[in-house]
Chains A and B, each alone.
Chain A
């Protein structure tokens, strides 16, 4: 049966870095294709911070995220189905990825309780008791219609230790099978299992080894954006990518700071998402090579340069820091303008990495990137170690 399955996703590796574990690939999906490594902006409620989808197309964004917890609540699966899925509802004809809703449920709702059946929670609507089961998560994700869906996983905070982590890991494996069985549209919506196991190398390994026996099109690495120590973080990432099959994309969930992106691409991850670049725009924070600037700061009041002279986004083409300074946090339009730039920054970073990998100069790219990001030469130790593990020695 597995052999005759039509795949919603195909992945082709275009180039591999000769030094690190980085690779460039192309994912073909029902709605569009995605070049990896890719950053996926998060459009939680079926919209991305005041941008119309055409603005994302103008930035050549090829895939974005929706959140199942929010969309299942509003506008709800019935309307999404009636509309023909989220793509049609929001007017986005490129790729979409949805999470399972579990993470938000556990982090947003105080009273969520995880049982074998699913996540029990109180409805934020009327306080009634509700249950998000693996089947229910997939049912909602099927109504949303994203190209890539996530399994419901048993999420534990990365600081949790002991038997709870092990329990969560085993449950995650049990739940992936229920999710796979519940998927009504495997031909147009693929489903990624999620490698869990906290910060315990043995559990991570076990989880990954168990999951690769499933017939799936790609894998996610979860539970690693909760503020855990970076020295643990990178080890869990690299351990996972060592086990996961080379010919399938690997999605590192919730990671999207520029420095983390560069390191984790070197460790062999292909897909990333993070709310930070878009969420922070509302407060006037713009991402620039070397870090970030807050346009609200008085030092920009008479700075007549664009946010980034080398950026090709419409905001940098048309607007100065000085003008943006007068409207950030005051006018809604400022939030859209900075969001356009921040998405452009993230996407440009990914394309530069792709190019450098293809041209076989990724190690030099990494060196230059770190020199720009940390001009004092104070490279974070964890990053130095992580890169050393893939044969890149940063020089100060």
Chain B
């Protein structure tokens, strides 16, 4: 995997390009980018027949080991890797340890390995099992085994321990990776830990960059799951800044989490390149549709046109009961384009029909992926500030609605 920064805007937002990625070798990916969130290798609610009806699906599918821990032996027997196993053979695959949309239970990691949680409960993964799984899954790139069980309340001592454990894992993985024929086309991402301790973060960053990794994952600020939507990157921007200063420029940086648009932009500005799309999934799960505008060049869509304020529209709300218009008249997604109405989705939510999830997931993915396109073009046109301003305005209205 190769990565080059094409230009840096403002305080540190990077326009980058990933090339020679993974087994296919020929793909190029522009950053900042977001990956296709999957649950067990399928986009939530959406089979391949539906994905084919959608446009602009990210070329990288994000699969969490936690979803496949109970089934990796089947993938192993299949031999051709998880992309083909899950019918996502046209996608690149990145494997993370955890599903960012699911809270990780605290207190189960040990020196010898860490705990991941699948449908069948807890699986403890040591380096041996970890490598065995990756060799079965054949990801195009993968997150190294890491102890990210730290948050705001974690002691300095525990934060230091997470750094140490993660580095020890990394050394073992680097060695095993270099000997593995199966993993020779898979890129390894090192993981930066250290909780909220600046010293430990810097140490982790320096040590990890000294090892042969293709990129970095920064974690350990929260335990994932819906609550991490409340995580504010501004609370840790100083630590992240210091951490990134210790990392080489020419390698990509990934952060997991539930990322509302304003938070994405702040992270991009700090220099984060790769994101997941668990946010549109969780918005779907609460019966809402993303409706924030990410137009930055013209006057943004006025509130009166959308008919509400904030980043999303709560389609469970009674006011949409007989609203026979699509979620957004401007949206080109399958759901809006085919004229499924707010009233119909409201009905499907009221009757707990799966199709509500299908239609909302299509729209929310589309909206989020388009947002990333806007980030990209705003950076290219040097209009990132305008985009930030546009998003910020809508965020203010979220707050004023709540108070």
Which of A's residues lie within 8 Å of B, judged by CB?
A: 45-47, 49-52, 54-55, 58, 70, 74-75, 79, 82-83, 89-91, 301-302, 304, 314-315, 318-320, 322-323, 325-327, 330-337, 340
Question: Which A-B residue pairs are the 6 nearest by beta carbons?
Answer: A50-B354, A314-B49, A47-B355, A326-B71, A75-B347, A318-B87
Contacts of B53 in A (CB 8 A): 54
* CB contact under 8 A between A331 and B40, given known A50-B354, A322-B74, A323-B86: yes
A67 to B50 alpha-carbon distance, docked (Å):
26
* CB contact under 8 A between A318 and B74, given known A74-B351, A330-B119: no
Contact of B45 among A45, A304, A332 (CB under 8 A): A332
A266 to B334 alpha-carbon distance, docked (Å):
42
- State the main secondary structure of chain B at its contact with A: mixed
A337 to B86 alpha-carbon distance, docked (Å):
13
Contact check, B47 vs A333: say whether CB atoms are below 8 A apart.
yes
Contacts of B340 in A (CB 8 A): 91
Contact of A326 among B40, B47, B355 (CB under 8 A): B40
Contact check, A54 vs B71: say whether CB atoms are below 8 A apart.
no
For the complex formed, measure the closest distance between the CB of A264 and the CB atoms of chain B, giving whole angstroms.
30
Contacts of B68 in A (CB 8 A): 326
- B11 touches A (CB below 8 Å): no
Contact of B322 among A50, A79, A337 (CB under 8 A): A79
For the complex formed, measure the closest distance between the CB of B207 and the CB atoms of chain A, giving whole angstroms.
36
Contact check, B355 vs A50: say whether CB atoms are below 8 A apart.
yes
Which of B87, B347, B353 neighbours the largest number of chain A CB atoms within 10 Å of its CB?
B347
For the complex formed, measure the closest distance between the CB of B349 and the CB atoms of chain A, giving whole angstroms.
11
Contact check, A302 vs B344: say whether CB atoms are below 8 A apart.
no
Additional A-B contact list (12), CB under 8 Å, known A54-B338, A70-B351, A74-B347: A49-B355, A52-B334, A52-B358, A55-B49, A83-B324, A89-B347, A319-B48, A325-B74, A327-B41, A333-B42, A334-B42, A336-B354
Contact of A332 among B41, B44, B78, B338 (CB under 8 A): B44
Interface residue ranges of B334-365 to A (CB < 8 Å) = 334, 338-341, 343-344, 347-348, 350-351, 353-355, 357-359
* CB contact under 8 A between A323 and B87, given known A79-B322, A331-B40, A336-B354: yes
- Contact mask B107-133 → A, CB, 8 Å, 1/0? 000000000000100000000000000
- B85 touches A (CB below 8 Å): yes
Interface residue ranges of B73-99 to A (CB < 8 Å) = 73-74, 77-78, 85-87
- State the main secondary structure of chain A at its contact with B: helix
A330 to B41 alpha-carbon distance, docked (Å):
12
Contact check, B322 vs A314: say whether CB atoms are below 8 A apart.
no
Contact check, A336 vs B48: say whether CB atoms are below 8 A apart.
no
Contact of A315 among B43, B47, B353 (CB under 8 A): B47
Contacts of A58 in B (CB 8 A): 49
Contacts of A337 in B (CB 8 A): 47
Contact check, B50 vs A52: say whether CB atoms are below 8 A apart.
yes
Contact of A323 among B41, B44, B344 (CB under 8 A): B41
Contacts of B354 in A (CB 8 A): 47, 49-50, 332, 335-336
For the complex formed, measure the closest distance between the CB of A109 and the CB atoms of chain B, giving whole angstroms.
17
Contact check, B321 vs A75: say whether CB atoms are below 8 A apart.
yes
Contacts of A327 in B (CB 8 A): 39-42
Contact check, B358 vs A83: say whether CB atoms are below 8 A apart.
no
Contact of A83 among B49, B119, B343 (CB under 8 A): B343
A319 to B351 alpha-carbon distance, docked (Å):
29
Contact of A333 among B46, B334, B347, B353 (CB under 8 A): B46
Of all chain B residues, which has the CB nearest A45? B351
22 A-B residue pairs with CB within 8 Å: A47-B354, A47-B355, A52-B334, A54-B338, A55-B49, A79-B321, A79-B322, A83-B324, A83-B341, A89-B347, A314-B47, A315-B49, A320-B85, A322-B74, A323-B85, A326-B70, A332-B45, A333-B39, A333-B44, A334-B42, A337-B47, A340-B49
For the complex formed, measure the closest distance between the CB of B104 and the CB atoms of chain A, giving whole angstroms.
18
* CB contact under 8 A between A331 and B39, given known A47-B348, A50-B45, A91-B340: yes
Contact check, A322 vs B347: say whether CB atoms are below 8 A apart.
no
Contact check, B87 vs A319: say whether CB atoms are below 8 A apart.
yes
Contact check, A336 vs B45: say whether CB atoms are below 8 A apart.
yes
Contacts of B334 in A (CB 8 A): 52
* CB contact under 8 A between A330 and B40, given known A50-B355, A90-B344: yes
* CB contact under 8 A between A304 and B49, given known A46-B347, A79-B322, A323-B41: no
Contacts of B338 in A (CB 8 A): 52, 54, 91
Contact check, A302 vs B74: say whether CB atoms are below 8 A apart.
yes
A83 to B119 alpha-carbon distance, docked (Å):
41
Of all chain B residues, which has the CB nearest A82? B322
For the complex formed, measure the closest distance between the CB of A372 and the CB atoms of chain B, giving whole angstroms.
27
Contacts of B46 in A (CB 8 A): 333
* CB contact under 8 A between A336 and B85, given known A74-B351, A82-B322: no
Of all chain A residues, which has the CB nearest B46? A333
A242 to B110 alpha-carbon distance, docked (Å):
76
A91 to B340 alpha-carbon distance, docked (Å):
7
* CB contact under 8 A between A322 and B44, given known A50-B358, A301-B71: no
Contact of A318 among B39, B48, B358 (CB under 8 A): B48
A314 to B87 alpha-carbon distance, docked (Å):
11
Contacts of B347 in A (CB 8 A): 45-46, 74-75, 79, 89
For the complex formed, measure the closest distance between the CB of B43 and the CB atoms of chain A, giving whole angstroms.
7
A55 to B341 alpha-carbon distance, docked (Å):
18
Contacts of A315 in B (CB 8 A): 47, 49
For the complex formed, measure the closest distance between the CB of B275 and the CB atoms of chain A, giving whole angstroms.
22
A387 to B96 alpha-carbon distance, docked (Å):
58
* CB contact under 8 A between A322 and B45, given known A50-B358, A54-B338: no
A326 to B72 alpha-carbon distance, docked (Å):
10
Contacts of B358 in A (CB 8 A): 50, 52, 336
A204 to B18 alpha-carbon distance, docked (Å):
74
* CB contact under 8 A between A51 and B45, given known A318-B87, A326-B40, A327-B40: no
Contacts of A320 in B (CB 8 A): 85, 87
* CB contact under 8 A between A314 and B48, given known A301-B71, A335-B354: yes
Contacts of A79 in B (CB 8 A): 321-322, 343, 347
* CB contact under 8 A between A318 and B42, given known A49-B354, A83-B324: no
Of all chain A residues, which has the CB nearest B348? A47
Contacts of B350 in A (CB 8 A): 74-75
